[in-house]
Amino acid sequence: MSAVQTPPPVTIATEGTRGRDPRARAPRASRPGRRIGAGSPRPRRSGMLTAVMVVFTVYSFAPLAYLVINSTKTQSSLLSTFGLWFGGHVNLIQNLHDTLTYNGGIFLQWFGNTLLYVVVGAGGATLLATVAGYGMAKYAFPGRRAVFAIVLGAVAIPGTALAVPTFLLFSQVGLTNTPWAIILPSLISPFGLYLIWTYAIDAIPMELIEAARMDGAGEFRIFFTIGLRLLMPGVVTVLLFAVVATWNNYFLPLIMLSDPRWYPLTVGLNQWNAQATGAAAQPIYNLVVTGSLLTIIPIVAAFLFLQRFWQSGLAAGSVKA
């Protein structure tokens, strides 16, 4: 009598198990009440980073908040009331009027001088750095390594260390106490040149330049129609660095200029601050605070306006792999 063979168990393939080995063990269900990743230090670390960023943000905006709040106070209330509470919009309007009209409107003249130094100095520095950086990145010439070493050495030297030698040089040629004493040193930006140089190496493919040359385009046309557009994020970065450095320049104008008519805002506001806190103090400390607020508004506006030019990947897809 033969033994009855038991048929093998029928496995029903569902959508989740189709194509799997039927002998494979199904995953065990997670225990109820236990969350995946429980006990991980990530939430605590994220909370600490958030707290640090909040503290850093408050610390960064505290001087700006102080200027905005205390610009709404008179001279007497500025020194006698709580420093982080508003005075009144009427006081703000009066402070703005007094700041712009004090001493024959000298603040507006200082503002115009600063704009002149920024437009000519920072704009020229950006243009020279862009042209030189592009040329050094895309053209081979004798002495390229020596120029690279000189540029790096110039980046490492702070501008304040060159202020006194620059003053002695300009005094020999009679350029001190003139706008050229501020504009000419501002045209040199070794860091901007180095930044454009390193950015142009990867931002502008040589295949794109060779294709433009084969189509008959000249070198200047290639630079202005192709290179400058691809370098725009780097150019904007260099421009912002140059604008901020020229706008906040203090030590060089302090030793170069003796005529208040050519002062920039930094030196002029410092002169007002000395008048407000000296032995024969004048009641103009509220003008110093209001003038400082007016001084930072153009820089904030420049950042907000130029940030849209910070875009990456402009050359993505221009060269086939």
From residue 133, give the alpha-carbon distance in Å to each of 180, 284, 312. 25, 46, 19
Tens digits of residue pLDDT in 152-179: 888 888 888 888 899 999 999 999 999 9
Tens digits of residue pLDDT in 96-138: 999 999 988 999 999 999 999 999 999 999 999 999 999 999 9
Q: What is the pLDDT of residue 35?
A: 52
Q: With bands split at pLDDT 50, 70 and 90, how would you rate the model's confidence at 194?
A: very high
Evaluate if residue 54 carries a pLDDT over 70.
yes
Q: What is the pLDDT of residue 275?
A: 85
Across 12-26, 126-140, 253-267, least confident range: 12-26
Q: With bands split at pLDDT 50, 70 and 90, how would you rate the model's confidence at 268?
A: very high
234-241 average pLDDT score: 90
Evaluate if residue 207 carries a pLDDT over 50.
yes
DSSP structure class, residue 309: G
Q: What is the pLDDT of residue 132?
A: 92
Question: What is the distance between the alpha carbons of residues 315 and 318, in angstroms, rounded to a whole number?
Answer: 5
Q: Percent of the chain at pLDDT above 90?
A: 37
DSSP 190-229: HHHHHHHHHHHHHHS-HHHHHHHHHTT--HHHHIIIIIHH
* ∠ Cα 233 234 235 (to 5°): 90
Question: What is the distance between the alpha carbons of residues 78 and 71, in angstroms, rounded to a whole number?
Answer: 9
Domain boundaries, the chain: 100-309
Evaluate if residue 306 carries a pLDDT over 50.
yes
Q: What is the pLDDT of residue 169?
A: 93
Q: Single out the residue of 256, 253, 291 nearest to residue 272, CA to CA.
A: 291
Pick left, alpha or beta for residue 100 (phi over 0 → left; psi -120 to 50 → alpha; otherwise beta).
alpha
Return the CATH number of 100-309, one of 3.10.20.30, 1.10.10.60, 1.10.3720.10, 1.10.260.40: 1.10.3720.10
On average, the pLDDT of the chain sits at 82
Q: What is the pLDDT of residue 120?
A: 95
Q: What is the pLDDT of residue 70?
A: 86
From residue 271, give the alpha-carbon distance in Å to each of 33, 176, 288. 69, 19, 9
Q: What is the pLDDT of residue 281?
A: 65
Question: What is the distance between the alpha carbons of residues 1 and 275, in angstroms, rounded to a whole number?
Answer: 123
Q: Are 71 and 293 in contact (CB under 8 A)?
A: yes
Reading the block at residue 157, the tokens are: 């030297």
Q: What is the pLDDT of residue 279?
A: 59
Q: With bands split at pLDDT 50, 70 and 90, how would you rate the model's confidence at 308?
A: confident
Q: What is the pLDDT of residue 16?
A: 47
Residue 78, judged by CB atoms within 10 A of its CB (0-12, 13-18, 19+), counts as buried
pTM score:
0.77
DSSP structure class, residue 252: H
Q: What is the pLDDT of residue 239?
A: 92
Across 81-90, 93-102, 310-319, least confident range: 310-319
